[in-house]
């Protein structure tokens, strides 16, 4: 059991199609003790269901745009668990209008929201939760190839993911002092709630399936297993990395 004895917080489960759910399940199957959060009351029942299935004792409210909720979460973890060994940030958001049409029309408001929820949230969560992370802990965030290349409709989210990947590199140096690692997992396209906001998403899925070396799309189980490797001691020499789990699509010209 690779995750036996490890406690971890997973942020970003919206339902049982979420990438974060795939990661939670993989970690649970290998013996991890999990803590989950829910963004708001609307999503609470779904997260409760997942918590029951994965034998999770506590779920906590966390809207990453509310600093007081991040602080409250840190205090709750400290009280209920002491320290934790891994942390998953699987959260992103941009206003729907910004994920269709032309990038050139991005408004300052959409830009700021995308950067706040999808990038700054990682920095703030790590900043505020660092005291409850054990030395040698592992942090993982989720990114997408749209950070490196033009992907139709991904627009402002591509810019946000580029900033997210750069943030991982800068955080890695600060956290490395305590042997805490941080990596990004770049997943291929998967049909989730968040993905449904991206224009022509089903076309992207079909194109990737046809054109990736493995000729298939990845599943949340595959992403979950690779994520578990990055969260476990098996990857103790890996930090500041962007790891592609995309059927190899990123190498195609």
The residues that are catalytic are: 144, 154
* Least Å from the CB of residue 242 to ligand 0WD: 11
Write out the binding residues for ligand 0WD, residues 184-223 only, by CB under 6 A.
Answer: 187, 189-190, 192-195
Rounded-to-integer distance, Cα 245 and Cα 227, Å: 9
* Least Å from the CB of residue 154 to ligand 0WD: 10
Rounded-to-integer distance, Cα 39 and Cα 103, Å: 28
| Nearest of 37, 139, 44 to residue 88 by alpha carbon | 139
Q: What strands lie across the sheet with 133-143, from one edge to the other? A: 59-61, 33-38, 7-11, 84-89, 133-143, 181-187, 242-245
Residues in the interface with ligand 0WD (CB under 6 A) total: 26
138 or 192: whose CB is closer to ligand 0WD? 192
Which residues lie below 8 Å from residue 108, measured CB to CB, with a gap of 6+? none
* Least Å from the CB of residue 102 to ligand 0WD: 21
187 or 230: whose CB is closer to ligand 0WD? 187
Contacts to ligand 0WD by CB under 6 A: 12, 14, 18-20, 39, 43, 62-65, 90-93, 117, 142-144, 187, 189-190, 192-195
């Amino acid at each position: 059991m690779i995750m036996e004895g490890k406690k971890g917080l997973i942020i970003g489960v919206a339902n049982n199609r979420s990438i974060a759910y795939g990661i939670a399940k993989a970690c649970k199957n290998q013996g991890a003790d999990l803590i989950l959060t829910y963004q708001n009351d609307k999503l609470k029942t779904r997260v409760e269901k997942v918590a029951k299935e994965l034998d999770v004792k506590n779920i906590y409210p966390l809207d990453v745009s509310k600093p007081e909720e991040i602080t409250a979460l840190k205090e709750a973890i400290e009280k209920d668990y002491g320290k934790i060994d891994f942390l998953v940030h699987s959260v992103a958001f941009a206003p729907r209008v910004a994920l269709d049409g032309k990038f050139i029309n991005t408004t300052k408001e959409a830009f700021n929201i995308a950067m706040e929820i999808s990038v700054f949230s990682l920095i703030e969560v790590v900043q505020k939760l660092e005291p409850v992370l054990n030395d040698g802990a592992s942090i993982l965030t989720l990114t997408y190839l749209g950070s490196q290349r033009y992907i139709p409709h991904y627009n402002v989210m591509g810019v946000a993911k580029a900033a997210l990947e750069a943030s991982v590199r800068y955080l890695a140096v600060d956290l490395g002092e305590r042997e805490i690692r941080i990596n990004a997992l770049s997943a291929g396209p998967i049909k989730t709630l968040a993905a449904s906001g991206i224009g022509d998403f089903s076309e992207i899925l079909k194109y990737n399936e046809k054109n990736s070396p493995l000729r298939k799309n990845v599943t949340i189980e595959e992403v979950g297993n690779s994520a578990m490797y990055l969260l476990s001691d098996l990857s103790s020499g890996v930090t500041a990395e962007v790891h592609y789990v995309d059927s190899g699509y990123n190498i195609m010209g």
